[in-house]
Chain A
Amino acid sequence: MKVWEYILRRLLLAVLVIFGVSVVTFFIARVVPSDPAALWVGPRPSPDQIAAARVKLGLDRPLYIQYFYYLGNLLRGDLGVSIKTHQPIVRDLRAYLPATLELVLVGMAMAVFIGIPLGVLSAARRNRFLDHFSRLVAVAAVSIPTFWLGLLLQLIFFGQLRWLPIGGRVSIETTLYHPIQTITGFYLIDTLVTRNWPAFRDALAHIILPAFTLATYAIGLTIRMTRSTMVEVLQEKYIVAARAAGLSERTILFRLALKNAIVPTLTVLALSFVYSLTGAILVEVIFSWPGLGSYVTSAIINVDFPVIIAVTLVVTVFYVLINLVLDLVQVVLDPRVVLK
């Protein structure tokens, strides 16, 4: 099958998946015991206020009619209004999603640039010091509770050393004296594009600790997965042949062996990425990072079902797209993989 045909087919399937997810989450949110009309009004709603809110929100209509209205809005790109904040969810997502994406992408980059090299070298120097060290690091990384690690890093790097900020995306000084012009919502990119160097340095300093905290588990996984697959690949006959032919160890490790060993690691990283979109909640709370995790957690606590449904759909879209990209990357890396 041609690549474009494959992509089209997968995208059509994705539409079906998203539709199914919207149906399931919509109806589940409606059957959970709650009163969205009361939440809409405020903490002390009177019966009259609740009745008026029920009409305003269309909750007096049959459930299937409510769903069709919802679907119609969805097709127009309208994800609805938050029952708690009364604000368009799209606008909230524009604020929270880039913050989380930036955090997760930097975290994944750390996982890639720390985890993969360590995994490769660990496999190459099996049962020697570096291997033992890497495996210890990997076990520690997947075992340490995220919140504990975050607090510890804050204590050391902020509390004791004052090297890095305690939390937030940028400092108050940046907000007051070097305000960031929002273009993409990714502060590292926006400050680079506008050449706001003080703000760039500040944004970079702020993202290090939360991204590293978030990346720790992925680093551990990546080291283990890469080492494991590299060990297998390094025993292949073509590697022996390459060594015999006199190729450099760097070429053998990073151009021959890694290319064939990397696919499972990429799969794990991709799944970690999607999971972190909402799974970063603990990191976001500890580092006061205004992201999707804390946004949806607050929505769950308040049974703010439009937000819950919207975030579920967003994560579903990412999941589908990431899997599509992963499948295409596999084809590039491994010619044995066929699209069908």
Chain B
Amino acid sequence: MLFQRTFPALIVLVALAVLLSLVGCRPSTPTPAAGETPAPPKENVAVYAHPTSFPDIDPSVSYSNDSAVVSNLYETLVWYNPPMHPQLLRPGLAERWESNADATEWTFYLRKGVKFHDGTFLNAQAVKYSIERTINMGMGASYIWDPVEEITVVDDYTVRFKLKYPAPLDLIAASGYGSWIFSPACVEAQGDKASEWFNEGHDCGSGPYTIESYERGRRLVITRFDDYWGGWKPGQFTKVVFEVVEDPTVRQQMIEAGTADVTYDIPRANLAALDARPDVVVYTNPAFQNLVGLLNVRKPPLDNKLVRQAISYAFPYDRFIQTVVSGYAVQSHGPVPLGMWGHSDQLFQYTYNLDKARELLAQAGYPNGGFKLVMTHVAGDLDERQVGEVWKAELAKLGIDLEVRGMAWEAQWDLGKSDPMQAQDIFVMYWWPDYVSPYSFLYSMFHCEEETLFNLGYYCNPQYDELIDRANALSGSNRAEAERLFIEAQKILIDDAVAVFFYDLVNTHAVRADIKGYVDNPAYPHVVFFYELSR
């Protein structure tokens, strides 16, 4: 009887005792016993609460969010500067570079005294090895090196690239994907298991940090490389922890509590309140990424330019940006996003104007609409879905029935690559550059394709193709002229209404206020260069 009465209470007491014993439980730095060496001083640690894990941290393959890590371990020959910087590029592992008149030959002069994490030194052979490995593996962003015909080691600190055709190799070498330089000896030591070895938590870079530990899907720790050629100053971080935290609410709690120092992808509705806190700063900057609706120009009725223009006038750009995206976007001026070279604020923008839309539809022979369109987007992407829902409501006023179809990316892309007459009418997707050039946007989405890849509106205009190809050829030798031609090409796209350029994205990063030196660089999305920060 006594046991019956007391058993429940006993359970509760035991549970409470366990809980209380763990309250505030934080393991402390071990206190050394008498005669033992004192524990090392506490590190200056930064924590990056990151929303995704890191698929592949092999520098020749990395082409995803793993760049957040990789960019702190490795370096490129050249770096792309943040917007507003007077120079487009700055030296990286190359102190200077030059090309011949038509940009078919590039020479990079390397920095001396740069040590890799394995103790070997940077030289021209390492550059040749790194890029050739990336090309030969043929994965990730290796295709950016397609123009390269031959890489020659001129001397220990000079490397020459001979190209098959003119290309902006300086921009390519500044890419955040596929342009990392690493130690050949370090890679060779792993044989054909190098890729696995990298993903077990190792690196062969020359960057300011090197991997200390890696718990897949959970946590990656990088530690300061003492022999980094750039040197170290007091206050810089000695360790950085990349903490994979998928839930945005949890990331927000962490940044508020100070258990994370940097994060992004916080719910937009919470950003203003977060920024109002004295201990957190929310940095808002243009991203080199936009949301585009590619219109199927082969399939009726969108094969009619007037119909395409009409539906371009039917989207409420400003209202959508202010209410749905809470102002964290900017209506696009064509396909090249704000902040990138090749962008122009002078380009025509479609505005929300249903009267104009009706007029165009009438001219096209659809005074009351009376047709159906299918718009595909990635299922699970709320913004894409809301674009569809809002547009659907507006198109309905014109008598147009828009089916908004959310699909897995694989299925959406598969459908897009099929026969244009059977495919979607509108393909909604994001685009961002593999290396920072308008060509990435203008070629990939609008250049004629024999086999459909990403030109998912099936647009083919030889005049347009010639214009952007010529611009790309000049990108390396006459950037100003190249930019002028890229802008001319964009005018063609806008006039032909081949796509609806919804908006350019804006990056928001939440950073603890006691951290100094943070500057967002959209050329390296969501990469935090911790070497530049201090506390």
Q: Contact residues of A with B, CB < 8 Å?
A: 32-35, 38-49, 52-53, 84-88, 91-92, 95-96, 113-114, 117-118, 121, 124-125, 130, 151, 154-155, 158-159, 162-164, 166-169, 171-179, 198-199, 201-202, 204-205, 208, 249-250, 285-288, 290, 294-295, 298, 301-303
Contacts and interface: CB of A to CB of B under 8 A. Distances in A.
B218 A169 contact: yes
Contacts of A85: 55-56, 199
Interface stretch (B117-125, B245-253, B320-328): B245-253
B454 interface: yes
Interface in B1-22: 1, 3-4, 7-8, 11, 19, 22
Interface centre among A39, A42, A163, A204 (most CB of B within 10 A): A42
A33 B3 contact: no
Q: Interface extent on B, as a size class?
A: 35 or more
21 contacts: A44-B63, A46-B143, A46-B453, A52-B138, A124-B4, A158-B257, A167-B250, A168-B218, A169-B218, A171-B26, A172-B47, A175-B213, A177-B27, A177-B30, A202-B27, A249-B1, A286-B247, A288-B218, A290-B244, A298-B53, A303-B408
A interface secondary structure, majority: helix
A35 B27 contact: no
Nearest to B4: A249
Nearest to A248: B3
Contact of B143 (A44, A202, A287): A44
Interface stretch (B150-158, B344-352, B410-418, B522-530): B410-418
Contacts of B241: 172, 175-176
A239 to B, nearest CB: 15
Contact of A166 (B219, B244, B250): B250
A151 B247 CA distance: 10
Given A38-B413, A169-B218, A288-B244, 8 more contacts: A39-B410, A49-B139, A49-B142, A86-B199, A174-B27, A201-B27, A250-B4, A288-B246
Interface in B48-68: 53, 55-56, 58, 61, 63-64
B142 to A, nearest CB: 8
Contacts of B195: 86
B64 A43 contact: yes
A123 to B, nearest CB: 12
A49 B196 CA distance: 20
Given A202-B25, A208-B19, A285 B246 contact: yes
Given A44-B454, A290-B244, A198 B4 contact: no
A35 B413 contact: yes
A217 B426 CA distance: 44
Nearest to B417: A35
Interface in B388-442: 408, 410-411, 413-415, 434
B411 A199 contact: no
Contacts of B55: 84-85
A42 B196 contact: no
B215 interface: yes
Interface centre among A33, A38, A88, A286 (most CB of B within 10 A): A33
B4 A176 contact: no
Interface in B189-246: 195-196, 199-200, 213, 215-219, 221, 239, 241, 243-246
